[in-house]
Amino acid sequence: MHPKRRPLIAGNWKMNKGGVTGIQLAHQIVELKKETPHVDLLIAPPFTVLSAVAHEIEHHGILLAAQNMHGKPSGAFTGEVSADMLKEAGCTWVILGHSERRHVFGETDAEIAIKVTHGLGSALNTCLCVGETLAEREAGRTLEVVRRQFDAVIDALAADPSEEAIAYEPVWAIGTGKNASPQDAEDVHSAIRAWLAEKSPALAQRTHILYGGSANPSNAESLLGMPNVDGLLIGGASLDIDSFGAIARIAERLARPAS
């Protein structure tokens, strides 16, 4: 972690905790936030529970994200949700380009770029996800693939002065229990930082680069110990307050100024 960027610990609940259990978890995260003042906590519940979670976390400094949105402001798009709807529900962030959106739902770089542009234009902070598949890694194409995904959105990111995040999530590490080694993560994160700096040193300085993919309490410290790992995007381990809390407390310990 870099001393100038507050760690961002993000929970992507995916298609879990869409009702009462989501509100309960949000309540537990409100309590956790009191113990972790030097860490930004972000949660991304399913659409159906966003408003209720927003109510639960209001005034507690917890960031609320949606997991996806449509790239147009309104219209005949059955089943979709717009940026303004997310803001009305209380979101200030949106996760875009998650590997499940790319690989399960077939979203392309071009579609994701439209969403990023629209999200930023609608004053939502975006967390863009990038990452290679196992076949791409084994073929030595990791940086080429991540660069392609990055290049599709960099102009939109650079044009916007707000805080943004890029989550490096190797597809082979998501939900598999196999995390990238801290050094493998750092290699990709430092490449992303350098690409951001080519565009704008200020953008490189303010962008949080998160690691995601089987992050858990056992590997969080070594991942967060890397200079360009500014936080974690956590799936499975974010659904349980014990594991999410343990990770947030590790980040707090690393970020707390020495007394």
Q: Does 213 bind ligand PGA (CB under 6 A)?
A: yes
Closest approach, Cβ 145 to ligand PGA, in A, equals: 17
Using CB under 6 A, pick the residue from 7, 97, 231, 235 that binds ligand PGA: 235
Spatial distance between the Cα atoms of 110 and 23, rounded to a whole number of angstroms = 35
Shortest CB 56 distance to ligand PGA, Å: 22
Q: Assess whether 169 carries a catalytic annotation.
A: yes
The smaller minimum CB distance to ligand PGA, of residues 54 and 174, is found at: 174
As a whole number of angstroms, the distance between CA 103 and CA 169 comes to: 13
Helical ranges in the chain per DSSP H: 20-35, 50-57, 83-88, 99-103, 109-121, 134-138, 142-151, 154-158, 182-199, 201-206, 220-224, 241-255
Q: Cα–Cα distances in Å, from 203 out to 40, 41, 159, 164, 197? A: 19, 21, 10, 9, 7
Interior/surface letters 20-31, b for 16+ CB within 10 angstroms, e for the rest: eebbebbebbbe
Which residues inside 1-60 make contact with ligand PGA, applying CB under 6 A? Answer: 12
Candidates 236, 244, 247, 248; binder of ligand PGA (CB under 6 A) is: 236
Instruction: Give the Cα separation of 238 and 247 in Å (integer).
Output: 9
Give the residue carrying structure tokens 């609940």: 13
Binding status of residue 175 toward ligand PGA by CB under 6 A: yes
Binding-site residue total for ligand PGA (CB under 6 A)?
Answer: 13
Q: By CB under 6 A, tell whether 215 contacts ligand PGA.
A: yes
Instruction: Report the candidate in 127, 33, 29 with the shortest Cα–Cα distance to residue 86.
Output: 127
CB of 232 to ligand PGA, least distance (A): 8
Where do we find the tokens 């976390």?
A: 57
**SS3 at position 64:** strand
Q: How far is the CB of 258 from ligand PGA (least distance, A)?
A: 30
Taking CB under 6 A as the rule, does residue 68 contact ligand PGA?
Answer: no
The shares of helix, strand and coil residues in the chain, as percent rounded to the nearest 5, are 45, 15, 40
Angle of helix 20-35 relative to helix 50-57, nearest 10 degrees?
30
| Closer residue to ligand PGA, CB minimum distance, 200 or 222 | 222
* Candidate list 56, 100, 164, 169, residue with the active-site label: 169
Of 169, 210, 224, 247, the residue at the interface with ligand PGA (CB under 6 A) is 169
Q: Among residues 67, 82, 214, 243, which is the contact residue for ligand PGA, using CB under 6 A?
A: 214
Tell me the per-residue interface mask from 138 to 157 with ligand PGA, x by CB under 6 A, - otherwise: --------------------
Question: Residue 118 catalytic?
Answer: no
When the beta carbons of 12 and 36 are compared against ligand PGA, the nearer one is 12
Nearer to ligand PGA, 42 or 89 (CB): 42
Q: Which chain residues interact with ligand PGA by CB under 6 A?
A: 12, 169, 174-175, 212-215, 233-237
Active-site amino acid positions: 98, 169
